[in-house]
Amino acid sequence: MIGVDTSETPQPLPRGEIRAFVRETFGLRGTLRLHRAALGGDLIRAPLNVILAPVFLLTRLAALLARVMKWPRAADWLATRRILLRTRVATEVAARVSAFIHELDGHGIGPGAPVDETRAAIDAYVSTRSAVAEIVTLIVVILSGFLLFHTATPGLVSLAGPFADLGAQTIAIDRFPLGPGIGRLWYGLFPAALPIWMVVAVFLALSVASAFVTTFAGLVADPVQVATGTHRRRLERLFRRLADRAGPEGLAREHVAARLGDIGDLAFNLIRFLRG
């Protein structure tokens, strides 16, 4: 009888365990428990991560370019740079995923990857989840612009203008010498001047509000991703990469989607500036 070499047989995914973990960790009750850690320092780290996110995207794009140019060392170094600040919620998610993988490894059904590879894969997994929170914030900004001002607002800069203009109009009408009624007619024909300090102040206020939304966006995003199977598929991809020793994951599409708002905001305001 000819023996069959099973050393290269791929490890089957523990789908049942993954489903149970996803429901427990990211379901409605699970995400509520996760976000208890968000109160406090995460309200500062979240806006800083929004600022650092373009740098993160550039490093990952540079890693892809280095891989295409056959520079594996540079590609691996760029792909493993930690740019974003680790929030307490992200730390909790990483700890739970790490414990889950370690538990499965102990029962012989985990990926069994080296510690450094596992840590890098979990970091990528956590950063992708954080990018989804930014996408939720972007959706809120866009919907706010359409519902309140009937205009496209792909970012905070685009949204700050209409809000500041509304504030300037309201203040000018209230202070009109002949009363608010006539002031409303007057400034309907001759809009009030919009001081730059008001735009800056509104932008800063919106930044604080968006930081709050981003920090707690997982309360909505996590259960939705559980229902759609997104969390499960993302975790399965993590297991496959670790089991296959596939190395660092490429740039996740969630990071690109999160940055589309920044690109759209820049383009929108540039066009508006050029049109005068």
Residue 224: inside a domain, yes or no?
Answer: yes
Give residue 222's pLDDT. Answer: 95
Are the C-beta atoms of 265 and 158 separated by less than 8 Å? Answer: yes
Residue 138: inside a domain, yes or no?
Answer: yes
Q: How far apart are CA 71 and CA 212, in angstroms?
A: 40
Residue 2: inside a domain, yes or no?
Answer: no
* Total-model pTM: 0.76
Q: How far apart are CA 118 and CA 240, in angstroms?
A: 12
List, for residues 180-190, the tens digit of each pLDDT value: 778 778 767 77
Give residue 253's pLDDT. Answer: 81
Residue 195: inside a domain, yes or no?
Answer: yes
Residues 6+ apart with CB under 8 A from 52: 83, 84, 85
One-letter amino acid at 27 equals G
Q: Radius of gyration (Cα) for the chain, nearest Å?
A: 24
State mean pLDDT over 259-266: 73
State mean pLDDT over 149-165: 83
Q: Which of 49, 42, 85 is nearest to 216 (CA)?
A: 42
Percentage of the chain surpassing pLDDT 90?
A: 17
Q: Which of 169, 138, 131, 132 is nearest to 156 (CA)?
A: 138
Q: How far apart are CA 194 and CA 155, in angstroms?
A: 20
State mean pLDDT over 55-84: 80
Q: Chain-wide mean pLDDT for the chain?
A: 81
Residue 127: inside a domain, yes or no?
Answer: yes
Check whether 4 has a pLDDT greater than 70.
no
**Helices and strands (H, E) in the chain, number of each type:** 12, 0
Structural domain containing residue 196: 15-275
State mean pLDDT over 182-202: 79
Residue 191 DSSP code: P
Residues 6+ apart with CB under 8 A from 230: 224
Residue 3: inside a domain, yes or no?
Answer: no
Q: Which of 249, 247, 243 is nearest to 112 (CA)?
A: 243
Q: How far apart are CA 56 and CA 68, in angstroms?
A: 19
> Within 10 A of 177 (CB to CB), how many other CB atoms are there?
7
Domain count within the chain:
1
Residue 10: inside a domain, yes or no?
Answer: no
Locate 179 and state its tokens.
């009363």
Give residue 226's pLDDT. Answer: 95
Check whether 94 has a pLDDT greater than 70.
yes
Give residue 273's pLDDT. Answer: 65
Label residue 3 by pLDDT band (50, 70, 90). very low
One-letter amino acid at 60 equals R
